[in-house]
């Protein structure tokens, strides 16, 4: 479903637009919030679900999350606007859990089930019956039938069926989760085990019912801008192409200033700092044998995965600042009176910014999807913007961080350029499942001497949960943006700068 303009995606965008509109235009916030579900679902008969009342109930919860609030309890009468005053401020950090399942929206999909479809021909050979190790398959009315009580979900019947008549039903959210964090409640609906979750958001973008959503800060960001605070934006490298094929980086910078930001920086500036610093770290620690391997740290979900599931690797995670934090520090050094918003593709960056060690650097985090809602609320048509600014300064190495393999490639290029006598071994993994495999191999000594890049999202940052366009198209646009950089690599002085 990635990159397809489904009804789920359209509704998410509508919710962000309406919450932004509340912040911009509402004169009676609580009444307007209570009225929003009726304005969004303004028809008498249900369009997508069995009743219009259920659609509105779901919208209410999506609105609350978009306001940065938590879901309401199912068995207690609570107004949709309850807690609004606590959120009607210009400073509010994300409170975990970030990812939440909306119970009324969940379809209670089969967790793991093999089912015979109407494609079954009732063949005489009946190979599905022959290979079933538990005798779970019998003939009923001339067709194969699987006894779910006996079935052990081995999949042998599906593999042997000559007509591909057996379907394997799994929850899309669970299939997308590489850490097994999707569980079931007593009603069979999905719930997220927050002790296992690493907040990558892949479950959210994989649910075809829109039952999983994350919290947003767009309301609080707008309030901060309205308060007169100086807000400076930094945009992640994956932004290229996210707002339309005709919208250039310079046009986006001008549009962001029109939205109210004082200035706009490339997060790739911080990536440049990290690339040179991690190249130096690899040369002095891994290449010399002091460390068995080095793990990159720019993907928060990857770092969280390593810390939660492979604690013995913590000492191998790079301690360099992530591009988001490094860029924020550049901004605050140059503009001590400014607040910083990171605009990117990633859900887990929201929690990274909430860490006590990061709070003083990054004040707000929003996604490309949320930013699009803000542009819509203000009526800014990006394709009609006349570029009045230039977005520049970062190298091709830093801009390449937006795609899988880009981090490792940037570090490798820096090593080959500035430390030509050092042999470098590069590995990269994308998706949490592949990242777990990579960490397991590293743990048992199979990746000695390697620089290992991990990306929680398949495809890298361009596949993050807050993106707007298909992954392949996004990767192509990032490639163009990288190629347009005035310099290919950061200079050795960059590493010295990162230590200040």
Q: Which of 16-20, 172-176, 179-183, 360-364 has the lowest mean pLDDT?
A: 360-364
Q: Which of 445, 410, 402 is nearest to 426 (CA)?
A: 410
Q: What is the pLDDT of residues 387-411, one digit of tens each?
A: 999 999 999 999 999 999 999 999 9
**Contact (CB, 8 A) for 72 and 81:** no
Mean pLDDT of 82-92: 73
Q: Which pLDDT value is given to residue 42?
A: 87
Q: What is the pLDDT of residues 111-152, one digit of tens each?
A: 999 999 999 999 999 999 999 999 999 999 999 999 999 999
User: Cβ contacts of residue 161 below 8 Å, gap of 6+?
Assistant: 127, 128
Q: Which of 71-75, 401-405, 443-447 has the lowest mean pLDDT?
A: 71-75
Helix crossing, 218-226 with 368-378: angle to 10°? Answer: 50
Please report where in the chains the tokens 């009580």 appear, as a residue: 149
> What pLDDT band is residue 245 in, cutting at 50, 70 and 90?
very high
Distance between CA 460 and CA 456 in Å, rounded?
7
How many CB atoms are closer than 10 A to CB 51? 10
Q: Which pLDDT value is given to residue 404?
A: 96
Q: What percent of the chain has pLDDT over 70?
A: 96
> What pLDDT band is residue 495 in, cutting at 50, 70 and 90?
low
Residue 168 structure tokens = 């394997």
Mean pLDDT of 338-367: 89
Mean pLDDT of 27-52: 89
What average pLDDT is seen over the chain?
A: 93
Q: Would the pLDDT of 500 be above 70? A: no
User: Cβ contacts of residue 480 below 8 Å, gap of 6+?
Assistant: 240
> What pLDDT band is residue 90 in, cutting at 50, 70 and 90?
low
Give yes or no for a cis peptide into 296 (omega within 30° of 0). Answer: no
Q: What is the pLDDT of residues 472-489, one digit of tens each?
A: 999 999 999 999 999 999
CA angle centred on 414, ends 409 and 416, rounded to 5°: 95
């Amino acid at each position: 479903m990635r990159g397809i303009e489904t009804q789920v995606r359209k509704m998410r965008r509508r919710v962000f637009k309406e919450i932004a509109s509340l912040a911009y235009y509402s004169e009676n916030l609580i009444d307007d919030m209570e009225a929003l579900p009726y304005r969004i679902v303004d028809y008498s008969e249900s369009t997508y679900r069995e009743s219009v009342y259920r659609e509105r109930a779901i919208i209410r919860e999506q609105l609350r999350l978009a306001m940065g609030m938590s879901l309401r309890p199912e068995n207690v009468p609570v107004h949709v606007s309850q807690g609004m005053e606590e959120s009607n401020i210009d400073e509010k950090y994300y409170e975990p859990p970030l990812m939440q399942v909306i119970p009324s929206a969940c379809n209670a999909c089969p967790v793991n089930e093999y089912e015979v479809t109407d494609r079954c021909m009732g063949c005489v050979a009946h190979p599905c019956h022959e290979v079933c190790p538990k005798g779970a398959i019998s003939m009923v009315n001339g067709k194969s039938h699987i006894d779910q009580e006996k079935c052990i979900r081995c999949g042998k019947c599906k593999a042997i069926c000559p007509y591909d008549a057996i379907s394997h039903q799994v929850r899309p959210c669970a299939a997308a989760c590489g850490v097994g964090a999707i569980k079931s409640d007593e009603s069979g609906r999905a719930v997220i085990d927050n002790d296992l979750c690493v907040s990558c958001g892949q479950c959210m973008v994989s649910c075809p019912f829109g039952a999983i959503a994350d919290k947003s800060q767009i309301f609080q960001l707008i309030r901060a801008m309205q308060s007169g605070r100086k807000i400076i934006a930094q945009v992640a490298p994956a932004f290229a192409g996210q707002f339309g094929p005709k919208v250039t980086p310079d046009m986006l910078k001008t549009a962001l200033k029109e939205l109210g930001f004082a200035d706009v920086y490339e997060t790739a500036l911080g990536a440049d700092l990290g690339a040179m610093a991690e190249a130096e770290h690899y040369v002095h620690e891994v290449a010399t044998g002091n460390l068995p391997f080095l793990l990159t740290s720019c993907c928060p979900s990857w770092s969280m995965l390593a810390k939660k599931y492979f604690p013995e690797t913590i000492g191998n995670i790079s301690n360099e600042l992530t591009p988001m934090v490094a860029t924020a520090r550049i901004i605050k050094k140059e503009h001590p009176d400014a607040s910083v918003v990171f605009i990117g593709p990633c859900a887990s960056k929201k929690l990274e910014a909430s860490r006590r060690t990061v709070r003083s650097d990054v004040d707000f985090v929003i996604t490309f999807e949320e930013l699009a809602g803000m542009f819509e609320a203000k009526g800014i048509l990006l394709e009609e913007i006349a570029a009045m600014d230039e977005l520049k300064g970062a190298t091709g190495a830093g801009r390449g961080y937006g795609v899988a393999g880009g981090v490792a490639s940037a570090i490798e290029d820096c090593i080959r350029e500035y430390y030509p006598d050092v042999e470098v071994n590069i590995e990269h993994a994308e998706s949490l499942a592949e990242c777990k495999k990579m960490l397991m191999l590293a743990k048992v000594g199979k990746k000695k001497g390697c620089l290992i890049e991990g990306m929680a999202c398949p495809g890298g940052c361009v596949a993050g949960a807050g993106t707007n366009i298909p992954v392949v198209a996004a990767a192509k646009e990032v490639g163009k943006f990288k190629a347009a950089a005035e310099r290919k690599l950061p200079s050795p002085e960059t590493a010295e700068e990162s230590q200040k």
